[in-house]
Structure 1
Amino acid sequence: MQANGPELDREVPVLLVKVGRYPDAYGATGAARSLGRAGVPVYALVEDRLTPTAVSRYVRRAFVRPSTGREPAEVLVAALLAAGRAIGRRTIPVPTDDEAAVLLAEHQEELAPHFLLPPVPARLPRRLADKGALGELCRRHGVATPRAATPADRAELLSTARSWGYPVVLKNLAPFTRLAAPAVSHTTVVPDEAALLAACPPDGPLSVLLQEYVPQAAAEDWITHLCCGPGGKPLVVFTGVKDRSWPPETGVTTRGHTRSNLELAAIAGDFCRAIGYCGTADLDWRYDRRTGRYNLVDFNPRNGAQFRLFETVDGVDVVRALHLSLTGRPVPSGPQLPRRFRMGRLDTLSAAATAWTDRRRPWGLWPEPRTEHAWFAADDPAPAAMAVLRFSLPAPYRLLRSALRS
């Protein structure tokens, strides 16, 4: 079962940690496969036993711990400690969402008896996941970012949007708040004032970031995935291009490809050194051809859903680099492999939407060499089958769920 790549310490298991309900967590499935193929015991926190991650052959045990993100921190920490005690060995927790990354960082002392954690400054992941605080960090350290504002009320929101001009971008401001009281369902491009008022109705909460829109015609969407050791030293830095997303322009990557970009890798690595970030991270950038600058638009303080796009010639991805680092083993520094990534169902939706608006035929919908798929893997087909049942064929899924409950 040992995959090609560096020898990982099989005596140190991994727990995939999540906060909130999102059963379509293909990043967690990718992490289970990457580490499981290297012989590392993998455990996972899941909403229920019929999530695609829970049925992966590489998950030794799935702990059913449903959460919403509205629970007190002590309840979430107690669930982690219970899982740690059940595993019975000091374990590396791998967060698969921003809230989990914040929880792990801010409760390092309580979790330390059961978990090996990267020595990240306790409050840093929360600041990075908070869109307003991220902008402040960028300005302090000379990293380009689109103009942004955190309006206190709707009057200020409307006033700022009018002064900038439309379209503008709306984002939920902070981790946990986006789960407990989301202002928008996802990052949203708002074309006019009517759409802005519809997105932020007067009776709902206002915890949003208003961000300048960089026109698609003048932009390129880039991603960097990295893993840093103590003090922010980059261990691996990967760069690639986001070809499509869902929703288009603003959502998760549904199709991407690797592309070496030494300039962007240096910007990302220098920023992590400057702030002392330690652990895995997924950074989204929007290159503005008008200014020649890479604008940092998101810093997710954990591995991204599409992290399996990236791997070195030595067989190292960000979760393997994290495991090597935390177990005191060297991280090989070879170049990244050429590869593509595709999230089939959502990519088909994105392709159809963009083909309609651009009045051209969709591209890249057929199998291509060196493509990593979000769900399907020949050595682990069950998650893809469960994803089809759960997300594409809900009626058979409900029958299966009922049968298992009876």
Structure 2
Amino acid sequence: MAKADFLPVILGSDDNAYGMARAFHEQYGIKSIVVTKGHILPTMHSKIVEKKIYEQLDEPQIFIESMLNLYEELKERADKLLVVASNENYAELAIRNRDKLEPHYVLPFISEELMDQVVYKERFYEMCEEYGLDYPDTVIFKKGMDPEMDLPFDFPVVVKASDSMTFFNAQFEGKKKAYVLHDKASFVKTIQQIYSSTYEDTLIVQDYIPGNDTVMRVLNAYVDQHGKVRMMCLGRVILEDYTPILIGNYVGIIGEENQELYGQYKKFLEEIGFRGYANIDLKYDRRDGKYKIFELNIRQGRSSYFVTANGYNMAKYLVEDRVYDRPAPTEYGTNSHLWHAVPKDLLINYTMDEELKKQVIDRFEKGQASSTLYYPKDLGLIRRFKLRSFYKNYYARFEKYFKLKD
């Protein structure tokens, strides 16, 4: 068998992982290696992935050993093994072990030094200040501070962990990815709950920017090995997931063009020395007319298949850069294709902006809508049945957890 030019090695097996595997398959007809701790629905019963299961893969030593063993298994199959991380934890593991892995794998990630500035929100907002990026008014709250303290802005406020990776591993009742708190009593209770767990790092307390899901924006980008942005694609959020542990994950996005944002964030990414996939969450603040950044993720977003669906294949930029090193101009997303991760009627019913709802209906009617997991070339009978059951559960989840926002 002839040796391939490259083989994708995707860390994780969630929607993000499947979306990237689908992008590689659509562009190159290639099957991706999915490296994961176990079986979860997005990559189950799939013909476009080859799974490698390593229990406790997120433990640093096991991760290194597993990746080195996998290299021995794959080295005769392709000239280059391209690593793609589906979450922050796997990206961090790859970056912190670059010296051991890079002799064998292509690691399209930022440096460890830059990662430590970006992933800790306290340091990241200092970067925003330095580079003139708008972000919500913020208070840094440390363990031991008095939660009864006066804040420089009114309720509601948003509370989230500065170190999201450590927070991910903390276990306690009522845990959420981020909290929107409407009064002092709930603020005090939440602070006490968080610090009664294993999480001891800083918390970020921010002024709540009013507005429902539809004022959110998500920006995905790819920066090549030479530090040049090759692609930027903006999406307007239609709807978020309301399941407590999944709050903040998007389930509906429509492509949107904003050259001012593209220019601002292209300059930022290039000036800080970013590399690889970037995922940026923003919210439009109607009080001052500014788009304010929440965070910069060091890998493509969970919903990043919306970029591929809009005509900008996520895998292509990585391969053209790291496999073939072909120069290319920057591509900016201008299309308005619809991406969704919940059933069609649920998305329409829960869209909170009437003009946007008309656009959503229009895209469905014109066949300009896509869903990551429903890939026509990968819909065997069992997979189709399991996906249908999974999406059906969203009705009960939205009925239980959905709340109007302002």
Structure 1-normalised TM-score? 0.81
Partner of 1:128: 118
- Tell me by how many angstroms 1:138 deviates: 0.9
Give yes or no for the alignment of 1:214 onto 2:209: yes
| More deviation, 266-275/289-298 | 289-298
Q: Which residue of 2 aligns with 1:5?
A: none
- Give per-residue Cα distances to partners, 1:232-276, cap 9 Å, x unaligned: 310001112111111299511111101110011111111101210
Q: Does 1:321 align with 2:310?
A: no
- Count, aligned residues: 373
Measured after TM superposition, the shift of residue 67 of structure 1 is: 3.5
Identical counterparts, % of pairs: 19
Task: Give the CA deviation at 1:318.
Answer: 2.7
Out of 86, 91, 100, which is 2:73 matched to? 86
The corresponding residue for 1:294 is 291
Aligned partners of 2:370, 2:164: CA distance in 1, in Å?
29
Query: Is 1:240 the counterpart of 2:235 in the alignment?
Result: yes
Q: What value does the CA root-mean-square deviation take over the aligned residues? A: 3.3
Query: Structure 2 vs 1, CA of residues 98 and 34 (structure 1 numbering), >3 Å: closer, same or farther?
Result: same
2:182 counterpart residue number: 191
Kept in 2, the 8 Å contact 1:344–1:374? The answer is no
Unaligned runs of 5+ in 1: 1-8, 394-406
After superposition, the Cα gap between the structure-2 partners of 1:388 and 1:96, relative to the gap in structure 1 and judged at 3 Å, is same
Q: Give distance in 1, aligned partners of 2:224 and 2:171.
A: 33
Cα distance in 2, alignment partners of residues 47 and 168 from structure 1: 36
Alignment of 1:352-371 (within 5 A): 364=360, 367-368=364-365, 369-371=367-369
Summarize the Cα distance change of 1:47–1:118 in structure 2 as closer, same or farther, 3 Å threshold. closer
Which deviations, in whole Å up to 9, do the C-alpha atoms of 1:95-133 show, x marking residues without a partner? 110111122222211101220122622232343222222
Moved more, 377-386 or 269-278: 377-386
Gaps of 5+ in 2: 394-406
1:227 corresponding residue in structure 2: 222
Write the distance in 2 (CA, Å) between the matches of 1:188 and 1:170. 5
Q: 1:381 to 1:197 in 2, by over 3 A?
A: farther
Contact map agreement 2:19 2:372 (CA 8 A) in 1: yes
In the alignment, which of 1, 6, 20 is matched to residue 12 of structure 1?
Answer: 6
Quote the residue 1:386 is aligned against.
386
Structure 2 CA distance for aligned equivalents of residues 312 and 107 of structure 1: 33
Matches of 1:218 and 1:255 in 2, distance apart?
A: 10
Task: Tell me which amino acid in the other structure corresponds to 1:39.
Answer: G
Residues 246 and 350 in structure 1, CA contact (< 8 A), matched pair in contact too: no
TM-aligned CA deviation for residue 339 of structure 1? 0.7
Query: Which residue is 1:104 aligned to?
Result: 94
- Shift of residue 10, structure 1, vs aligned partner: 4.9
Q: Deviations over 1:42-96 (max 9, x none)?
A: 100133245321432111x201124484x3x222222222222222243100011
Question: What corresponds to 2:398 in structure 1?
Answer: none
In the alignment, which residue of structure 2 is the partner of 1:26?
15
CA 323–224 in structure 1, closer or farther in 2 if over 3 Å, else same: same
Within the alignment, does 1:200 sit opposite 2:191 as a pair?
yes
Supply the distance in 2 between the matched residues of 1:167 and 1:13 (Cα, whole angstroms): 48
Deviations 1:280-325 (A, max 9, x none): 1110111212222221101111011111212498x53233211211
Q: Does 1:258 align with 2:248?
A: no
Residue 228 of structure 1 deviates from its aligned partner by 0.3
Q: Secondary structure in 2 aligned to 1:324? A: helix
Displacement of 1:350 in angstroms is: 7.4
SS in 1 for 2:267: helix
Correspondence for 1:35 among 24, 28, 41: 24
- SS of 2:378's equivalent? coil
The correspondence for 1:180, drawn from 164, 169, 177, is 169
Alignment of 1:62 with 2:51, yes or no, is: yes
